Amino acid sequence: MKNLIMADLKVLGHRIWAVPLVILMFTILFNFVIPGHNNHQSLKYFHVPLTAGILGYFLMEIWSHNRLHLEMNSLPCSKYSIVFQKYLMIFLFVAIGILSLSLFLEIMSLTTDYTFNATDFYNAVNYPMPILTKLSVFVIPLFFKFKNQKTALFGTIFWFLCLIPFISLSIYSVSKQNTQQDLFLYIFLLIISVIVITIFYIKENKSPKIKQLIFIPVVTVFTVALGRMISILADFLFNLSLSKFKPDIFKRFNGYYETFNMDAGTYKSIMELYYELLKTNGTALLVSTVLMLYVWKKGNIRNIMATTFQFITLPVIFITLEFFLLFAVFGADLIISSNSTFFNTDTHFFIADYMIFVLMLIASFYYSKKFLTEGGK
């Protein structure tokens, strides 16, 4: 392990100190150049993600073109060590970012009227961490798969900027949505798919085949339907448990819980609330699954399908599991605690975030190790 870490540090060379130094210099410069009084309060958030991100990108760039695969994999060290060390490097880069952040805050307290305090420091480290850690668990296996830092990075950015927030939002607002909104969602997805197909075929100048045409909208609908089904079920189970263990608690809630409380008390009322949502999304899931099985059986695009599942469905499952866990943590807190701290959402999000992160990390590690052996030309 030590040899692998030292190897990467040697490969990075001067970048290991130049990157945090440049970030430090730029943030100090921006603090004084940008008009305003408290710029350092925003600039402090850039240190850890920028340092870890840029160093990670440089390292991937150096590893690319099959070098990591051929060189490291041929050396006498286990695949487990090779993969594990790559995750350790992220923590090392974060530590360098923290060092750069401390220097920045110290310099700010010396040169401005700002006084260094632990809360500022803690927030500057803790707020970007969930995004950074999630990025890492996606980008590392993607890199091992494609051996190219750009593909890995664009794949991850695609998830984060497009897919995950979209699905997360649709899941998060699950109980506030109704069947009509869900129908609009699926129509919107189908329109997007048609646009994507059109752009693809115009660019590739190919005549589309019916199975390929079916594949794109079907996989899009399947992915979203799967995410929504899991989150609706999580929400349903959460309310079901609450109605049994803490029937009195509903009085305190606003929003959909209040609506629920109006009809609450029986299983029937809960079913009524969720029946329509489950019916719409369940139908979408069922139809898309059947169509996908048809494409799988008849088509010749199994490899594309398998890759799509690995890289699209997995993050969806993770995100929905995250919400599932979030509800579980909320529920457990409400059931166990007599003096409920339900509105202290930070703690619940923190617990759910890190619980799911462990699951994501295990899956990420598994795929990285698999791709390290399977990869190559």
Partner 1 sequence: MTKILEINGVSKEFKGFKLDNITFGLEKGYIMGFIGPNGAGKTTTIRLIMNLLKKDSGDIKIFGMDNVSDEVPIKDRIGFVYEENYFYEHLTVNKMKEIIAPFYGKWDDNKFNEYCEKFELTPKKKIRDLSKGTKMKFSLAIALSHNAEFLILDEPTSGLDPVFRDKLMDILREEIQDENKSILFSTHITSDLEKIADYITFINNGRIVFSNQKDTILENYKIIKGDTGILTDEIRNELLGIKENRFGFEALCDYEKESLFSKFEVVTEKPSLEQMMVYLSNK
Q: Which residues bind partner 1 (CB under 8 A)?
A: 3, 6-7, 10-11, 13, 62, 66-67, 69-71, 73-79, 303, 373-377
Nearest one of 313, 367, 346, 360 to 133, comparing CA atoms:
360
Report in angstroms how near the CB of residue 346 gets to partner 1 at its nearest: 44
Nearest 5 degrees, angle CA 188-CA 192-CA 198? 145
DSSP 152-172: HHHHHHHIIIIIHHHHHHHHH
How many residues does this entry show for the chain?
377
Q: Between 242 and 372, name the residue whose CB sits nearer to partner 1.
A: 372
Residue type, 99: L
Q: Between 4 and 171, name the residue whose CB sits nearer to partner 1.
A: 4
Q: Between 8 and 120, name the residue whose CB sits nearer to partner 1.
A: 8
Q: What distance in Å separates the CA atoms of residue 308 and residue 236, rounded to the nearest whole number?
A: 29
Report in angstroms how near the CB of residue 67 gets to partner 1 at its nearest: 5
- Cβ atoms within 10 Å of 131's Cβ, excluding its own: 11
Q: Between 209 and 302, name the residue whose CB sits nearer to partner 1.
A: 302
Q: CA-CA distances (angstroms) from residue 284 to 185, 246, 292, 320?
A: 11, 33, 12, 17
Q: Between 13 and 208, name the residue whose CB sits nearer to partner 1.
A: 13
- Specify the 3-state DSSP secondary structure of 2: helix
Report in angstroms how near the CB of residue 223 gets to partner 1 at its nearest: 25
Q: What distance in Å separates the CA atoms of residue 141 and residue 364, rounded to the nearest whole number?
A: 6
Pull the structure tokens for residue 136: 């890492």
Report in angstroms how near the CB of residue 77 gets to partner 1 at its nearest: 6
Report in angstroms how near the CB of residue 197 gets to partner 1 at its nearest: 24
Nearest one of 244, 266, 237, 264 to 253, comparing CA atoms:
264
Q: Between 18 and 62, name the residue whose CB sits nearer to partner 1.
A: 62
Q: Between 5 and 161, name the residue whose CB sits nearer to partner 1.
A: 5
Pull the structure tokens for residue 113: 């009227």
